[in-house]
Amino acid sequence: MPRTSASSNWDDDSRITRGSRRSRWDDSGPQHRRTPRLVEEPDGPPEGSRWSTWDDIGIPHGPEPHPDWVVTALGAVDYELGVLKTGKEADVHLVERSVPGTDIGTLMAAKRYRGSEHRMFHRDAGYVEGRRVRESRMNRAMAKRTDFGRELLAGQWAVAEFNVLGMMWQAGAPVPYPVQLDGTEILLEFIGDPDGTAAPRLAQFRGTDEELHDLWDQCVDVMCLLAAAGYAHGDLSAYNLLVHNGRLVVIDVPQAIDIVANPRGPDFLRRDAENVCKWFSGRGVPADAADLTVRLLDEARMLRPGGDTALLN
């Protein structure tokens, strides 16, 4: 099986109403390559690969209908093609899922959360307000960051990100399609080129003023969409927004905030607004954090009569 070297510019780090599954960000759909015909492996997949886990018992799948490029065939093989990025909480790998003996295949990003041997989400106390598991023993373990608690947190963050991505996708937000969840691993739509080169971060964007203003409009649109659905990204910045073929794509959403259940929800909305406005305004775009915050609170139906923002104080 030929291998492709992964190249990446990525960085770390059910109230949504069902409607049109995609929106304006869908103008240029993802391109996924087809693999060359492969030789059957009678004794199992080649070294460094694995059988597809799509049909394994208990594996949650992304929203239906699944995109045409998702490979669901029995006997498909997942090939490891390299590391896209490493981070404090998770690593992202490039994986190709293809059917031996055919030209059917697609590239995916495999996000794998780390377990108890690594520090998990140093700021997660604020993010998880409003989230609880049923057993008090588990809550205590997570609060104390025991090995068991960190394992629970890894699984909780993976589940949270998978679910939020599914909801955002169904709402028409520009996010990678969540293919499946297997423990602490999420398989996602790969945002990048057919040769395995990942889309660059917004922080690395070099383009015209017109392109920059269009990306700002896209950013405001997706933030308003999330706020109207009752969510804030929680850690939005130019480092977890990708730019691919003129399309802004939101990534890294495990800490997405339920701004109603979380008492600090409005503060997270404001912080997201401040982060993106600082970046865009520094490049000549008239982006005002206070104005955007008011707009987001209005979309979330959290403004007091007369546009009072005292809720943030």
Q: pLDDT over 70 for what percent of the chain? A: 71
The pLDDT value recorded for residue 74 is 87
The pLDDT value recorded for residue 186 is 97
Is the model's pLDDT at 6 over the cut of 60?
no
The pLDDT value recorded for residue 168 is 94
Task: Provide mean pLDDT across the span 157-174.
Answer: 94
- Summarised one tens digit per residue, pLDDT across range 266-294 is 999 999 999 999 999 999 999 999 999 99
252, 258, 267, 298: the catalytic one is 252
Is the model's pLDDT at 23 over the cut of 80?
no
The pLDDT value recorded for residue 307 is 55
Q: How confident is the model at residue 153 (pLDDT cuts 50, 70, 90)?
A: low
Q: How confident is the model at residue 9 (pLDDT cuts 50, 70, 90)?
A: low
Q: Are 285 and 205 in contact (CB under 8 A)?
A: no
235, 272, 291, 308: the catalytic one is 235
The pLDDT value recorded for residue 289 is 97
Q: Which residue has the higher pLDDT, 75 or 138?
A: 75
Verify whether residue 235 is a known catalytic residue. Answer: yes
The pLDDT value recorded for residue 157 is 86
DSSP state letter for 61: B
Q: Which residue has the higher pLDDT, 39 or 307?
A: 307
Q: pTM of the entire structure?
A: 0.78
* Minimum mean pLDDT range among 99-103, 144-148, 192-196, 230-234: 144-148
Q: Which residues contact 145 (CB under 8 A, 6 or more apart)?
A: 120, 153
Residue showing tokens 């730019």: 243
Residue type, 291: D
Domain map (residue ranges) of the chain: 24-312
Q: Which residue has the higher pLDDT, 6 or 243?
A: 243
Helix 136-144 vs helix 147-170: angle between axes, to the nearest 10 degrees? 100
- Say which CATH class 24-312 falls into: mainly alpha
Q: How confident is the model at residue 119 (pLDDT cuts 50, 70, 90)?
A: very low
Q: Which residue has the higher pLDDT, 153 or 267?
A: 267
The pLDDT value recorded for residue 106 is 98
Q: Are 233 and 272 in contact (CB under 8 A)?
A: yes
Mean pLDDT score across all residues of the chain: 80
Can you read off the two tokens belonging to residue 262? 């979380």
Using left for φ > 0, alpha for ψ between -120 and 50, and beta otherwise, residue 84 falls in alpha
Separation CA 9–CA 11 (nearest Å): 7
Verify whether residue 252 is a known catalytic residue. Answer: yes
Task: Provide mean pLDDT across the span 144-166.
Answer: 70
